[in-house]
Amino acid sequence: MIGERGVRRWALGAALLAALVWLFPYAWMLLTSFKTPQELLKAPTALPTSLGFSAYAEVFRALPVARYAALTTVMALSIAALQIAVALPAAYALAKLDFRLRGAAFALLLSALLIPAELRFVPTFTLFSALGLVNTLPALVLPFAVSAFGTFLLRQALLSVPNSLIEAARLDGASELYIVYRVLPPILAPSLMAFFLVSFVHHWNDYFWPLVMTVDDTVRTLPLGIALLREQGSGVRWHIIMAGSTLLSLPALGLFAFSQKYLMRGLGSGVG
Amino acid sequence: MKPTRPSEPWWLLAPMLGALAVFFVYPLLSALRTSFYEWDLLTAPRFIGLGNYRAIFSSGELFASLGTTLLVSVVVVAGSLVLGLGLALAVNRPGRLAALARSAVFSAYVVSWVSVGLLFLWIFDADAGVVNQLLSAAGIGKVKWLTSTRMAPLTVALIVLWKVTGYAMVVFLSGLSGLPPEMQEAAALDGAGPFARLRHVTLPLLRPTAAFVATTSLIASFQLFDVVRLLTQGGPVRSTTVLVYAIYEQLFRDLRVGRASSLVVVFFLVLSALTWLKLRAFRSQEPV
């Protein structure tokens, strides 16, 4: 029989092993990105002999990285802002106001959880191509105006906001819109933060939707550009591909390092 | 609370309802309608009744891609349950190593699928990849991770598992933090060892959390696309052609909008059934 202390030791061993399994691929990506083609050809698994950034320079030569990154940031920020602007009044109505069919409206929102982008792209693509919107920023942003996850998160948070607070604001002459966009956000800050982070990271990383909605370089996002590195050129290119992968994952990992608590809180709530 | 005007709630809901109508309801109805037509986006659509459905059923395409999707799902669901719970139990303690392991495992969740896909394409490369280099140095020999029809779906599933286990762990951790500590203490006072407590106290209480993780992983693996597109393009010999990839091919490679739409309709029915399971699991998580 293993005692309490033995269990603790096993748990620490498992944690160490997990940390290795999950950190090794990152380390490998980084190491490969510092190698030269000669090193890759001769001994693909040996450590690089020097800290060379030529692969990164090559990525910047092959792709307009700054433009892709800027466009991706604008897209992900627009989606997050639009989602929050749409979700706040809806969550307020669903959590705080009594009206007929409230249950039905809430059920409709929940059923949107059931319809991922992978189910919507065929008709949306034909609709946008009829409207001439394929390959534009609106085609990348508008279809995500509603976040069922985020609206649900805000509604749950609003349920614990006391009614007296809203009634006091009404007595002070605040309009409903003022309450929704000015009074509530500071109170909902932690949930809004979690909502923003989940949305931003998801869309910054998204590959599928930009892939099906773009046809050329006009509104190409960074994940699409980096994926192109695999198809371009010939010969040994793993150092370049890994340099691109590093560039793509760094912003998300950086954001993660600063906001892990909020992200875990948002996702741990169990609706994502 | 009473709304200030009776129409107020509807004004507040209008943006959401409008977007839902255009980007959720319309696409589904439109896909249903288009699934009865033959259409290549260039010429006028032609009504062919159930022709598309007959084609996807009789060509075996639907069942092949459903089967592949299911195979991947089984590995991902079982793996994320076992690993997610095991890791949550192992790292649910103070200390720097536990914190490091928590962050490391969860970090995979925020990294782009593109980075993950390219990274594992390199790691599992048949000749120069680090896994095969180590295996052949150990005298075991190289494994065709992505180039054999038998291994490729499993390799894809393992990569998905690496990506989603952190999420499962976080959900289990929040499930664990919601358990009343008195029950553990009472069981310990009664002389129950750590394994007995796990089996008879913790696991039964975590069952709703486990059901939630299982259904979430199931739905996530049904949406699988990015890794397949980046690593295998559905091959070798269509062994990794999952449902979404099949739809993508029908639309963008073969320009068969009707055929793609019929797959979307079937996909929707399957997802509805799965989501119904998820909502049931979610509801059972709330205190009775």
Classify residue A125 as exposed, middle or buried by CB count within 10 Å of its CB (0-12, 13-18, 19+): buried
Give the SS3 label for residue B46.
strand
CA-closest candidate to residue A251, choices A200, A181, A188? A200
* A-contacting residues in B 46-75 (Cβ below 8 Å): none
Tokens coding B123: 């790691």
| Residue B283 pLDDT | 65
CATH number of the domain within which B193 lies: 1.10.3720.10
Contact B112 A238 (CB under 8 A): no
pTM of the model: 0.90
CATH number of the domain within which A90 lies: 1.10.3720.10
Contacts of A242 in chain B (CB under 8 A): 118-119, 122
Q: How many domains does chain A have?
A: 1
Give domain status of residue A73, yes or no: yes
Q: How many domains does chain B have?
A: 1
| Rounded distance between C-alpha atoms, residue A236 and residue A38, angstroms | 9
Alpha carbon B138 to chain centroid, angstroms = 34
Cβ neighbours around B281 below 10 Å, total: 20
Q: What are phi and psi of A51, to 5 degrees?
A: -90, 85
Please, which pLDDT band fits residue A272 given cuts at 50, 70 and 90?
A: very low
Cβ neighbours around A102 below 10 Å, total: 15
Classify residue A169 as exposed, middle or buried by CB count within 10 Å of its CB (0-12, 13-18, 19+): middle
Beta carbons within 8 Å of B74's beta carbon, 6+ residues apart: none
* A-contacting residues in B 168-207 (Cβ below 8 Å): 170-171, 173-174, 193-195
Give bridge partners of residue B46 from the DSSP assignment: B38
Which residues constitute the domain of residue A143?
64-228
Beta carbons within 8 Å of B224's beta carbon, 6+ residues apart: B69, B72, B156, B160, B242, B244, B245
Give domain status of residue B204, yes or no: yes
| Residue A256 pLDDT | 87
Which residues constitute the domain of residue B100?
62-110+157-283
Beta carbons within 8 Å of A2's beta carbon, 6+ residues apart: A10, B193, B194, B195
User: In this predicted model, what pLDDT tens digit does every residue of A116-170 receive, in sequence order?
Assistant: 888 888 889 989 999 999 999 999 999 999 998 899 989 999 999 999 999 999 9
Which one of A31-35, A161-165, A264-268, B277-281 scores highest in mean pLDDT?
A161-165
**Where is B38: in which H helix or E strand?**
strand B37-38
| Residue B288 pLDDT | 35
pLDDT in tens, chain B (288 residues): 888 888 899 999 999 999 999 999 999 999 999 999 999 888 888 999 899 999 999 988 889 999 999 999 999 999 999 999 999 999 988 888 899 999 999 999 899 999 999 999 999 988 888 898 889 888 888 888 998 999 999 999 999 999 999 999 999 998 898 888 888 788 888 888 888 888 888 888 888 888 888 888 888 888 899 999 999 988 888 889 999 999 999 988 888 999 999 999 998 898 888 777 766 766 665 543
User: In this predicted model, what pLDDT tens digit does every residue of A60-111 receive, in sequence order?
Assistant: 999 999 999 999 999 999 999 999 999 999 999 999 999 999 999 998 888 8
B11, B97, B134 member nearest A16 (Cβ): B97
Give domain status of residue B18, yes or no: no
Q: Judge whether B275 is closer than 8 Å to chain A, CB to CB.
A: yes
Give domain status of residue B115, yes or no: no
Alpha carbon B44 to chain centroid, angstroms = 36
**Residue B38 region, left (φ>0) first, then alpha (ψ -120 to 50), else beta?**
beta
Q: Which residue of A has its CA nearest to B164?
A: A22
Q: What ipTM score was computed for the predicted complex, to two decimals?
A: 0.89
